Amino acid sequence: MNINDIKQIKLQDFLAAIGCKPVKQYGVNLMYLSPLRAEKHASFKVNTELNKWYDFGIGRGGNIIALAELLYNSSDVSYLIHQIERNAPSSVSVSLPTTKPITPQNSFEHLQVLPITHPALIKYLEERCIDVEMARTVCKELHFDTRGKHYFGIGFPNIAGGYEIRNPFFKGCIAPKDISHFYAEEPKKVCFVFEGFMDFLSFMTLRKLKNPQQTGLSLQDYLVLNSVTNIHKTAKRLSRYDSVQCFLDNDNAGRNAYLQLSKELGKSVTDASTLYNGFKDLNEYLCAESKHSERAEIKKSKGIKL
């Protein structure tokens, strides 16, 4: 792929490939929660006619190369093309170079994998209503350098040795990107499927709230897509289960992923999103439940009958 080919990739397709889905549409404009930072109200716009983006929160915009510069913290065009090719939608024809790629100077360096202890990351988990001790059982605190600057975030491992990364200002991954699968040597009969690791942690938090004794991963197996574009990687793994319960987002992308999996695996696949009807995803439902429980506790402490 040369730079002209890269610029022909539709921004909405590229964003979908890295796990970002629009939350609103106004004519030719799609609105997203910014992939460049944490936010609750969509302020990242893609004009599908011009194939340009603009982030109102930081006052920046441009084409796919300009977006990749911020996503991958680099101005090295060769590196950016490689990163976009790696995440390019499957519908886009990508011809990778036959020569051995040069390791970019601006890639992630000096990676440290530590237990989660940083106050900013703990606060971020608490703001998402995630049980911190539960998160520590599967997530790590990652520290790394890129372009001469130091960064850190919550890392969620996948089966290929890569990590999904989250912090209050960043959403991305350390390659390779892949699914995450938690299972015992003797797989259980049931596997729960989640779209992202925050949904998975939300489920584990909800389960712990309902039964504080259940703190481990041993009750059933779990698979996290880390992006609905990874759904094609799951059929073989999930075919071994008698029951596959999907806790995917209540949007078109989540429903399409469920239908694709149901088509491939048949009656073993069930839609568990009815648990959080009226909410976008499990984390939104968890936060609403947590606020409700908090209000109930306040009323109880004041002697108010519920």
Eight-state DSSP code of residue 306: -
Q: Do 187 and 167 fall into the same domain?
A: no
Token reading at 74: 């680099």
User: For 173-194, what is each residue's pLDDT tens digit?
Assistant: 888 889 999 987 776 899 999 9
Whole-model pTM above 0.85? no
Residue 116 and residue 154 in one domain: yes
34 φ/ψ angles, rounded to the nearest 5 degrees: -60, 130
Beta strands at 243-247 and 269-271: parallel, antiparallel or unpaired: parallel
Q: In the block, which residue shows the tokens 């949904």?
A: 199
pLDDT of residue 88: 63
User: What letter represents residue 173's amino acid?
Assistant: C
Give 29-87 as a DSSP string.
Answer: EEEE--TTS--SS--EEEETTTTEEEETTTTEEESHHHHHHHHTT---HHHHHHHHHHH
Give the chain's mean pLDDT. Answer: 84
Q: Is 195 in the same domain as 147?
A: no
pLDDT per residue as tens digits for the range 114-142: 999 999 999 999 999 999 999 999 999 99
C-beta atoms surrounding 163 within 10 Å = 28
pLDDT digits (tens, 9 = 90+) for 258-285: 999 999 999 999 999 999 999 999 999 9
Q: Are residues 196 and 278 in the same domain?
A: yes
Last residue of a domain, one of 87, 122, 141: 87
Are residues 237 and 193 part of one domain? Answer: yes
Pick from 81-95, 202-216, 250-264: least confident? 81-95
Q: Are residues 9 and 41 in the same domain?
A: yes
When pLDDT is cut at 50, 70 and 90, the band that residue 217 belongs to is: low
Percentage of the chain lying above the pLDDT 70 cut: 85
Q: Looking at the domain assignment, is residue 239 inside a domain? A: yes
pLDDT single digits (tens) 5-54: 888 899 998 888 787 889 998 888 999 998 888 778 889 999 999 999 99
Quote the pLDDT of residue 265: 94
In a domain, 99, yes or no: no
> Is there a single domain that holds both residue 168 and residue 184?
no
Inside any domain, residue 304: no
Residue whose pair of structure tokens reads 């059982």 in the numeric block = 137
| pLDDT for res 93 | 34
**3-state SS of 214-233?**
CCCCCCCEEEECCCHHHHHH
Looking at the structure, do residues 258 and 185 belong to the same domain, yes or no?
yes
- For residues 63 and 14, the answer to whether their CB atoms sit within 8 Å is no
Residue 130: give the domain boundaries: 109-174
What pLDDT was estimated at residue 118?
92
DSSP character at residue 185: S
Is the pLDDT at 150 greater than 80? The verdict is yes
For residue 95, being part of any structural domain is answered with no
Contact assessment for residue 227 and residue 19, using Cβ atoms and an 8 Å cutoff:
yes
The count of domains in the chain is: 3
User: Using 50, 70 and 90 to split pLDDT, how confident is the model at 298?
Assistant: very low
Any idea what the CATH number is for the domain that residue 26 is in?
3.90.580.10
- Asked if the structure places residue 302 within a domain, the reply is no
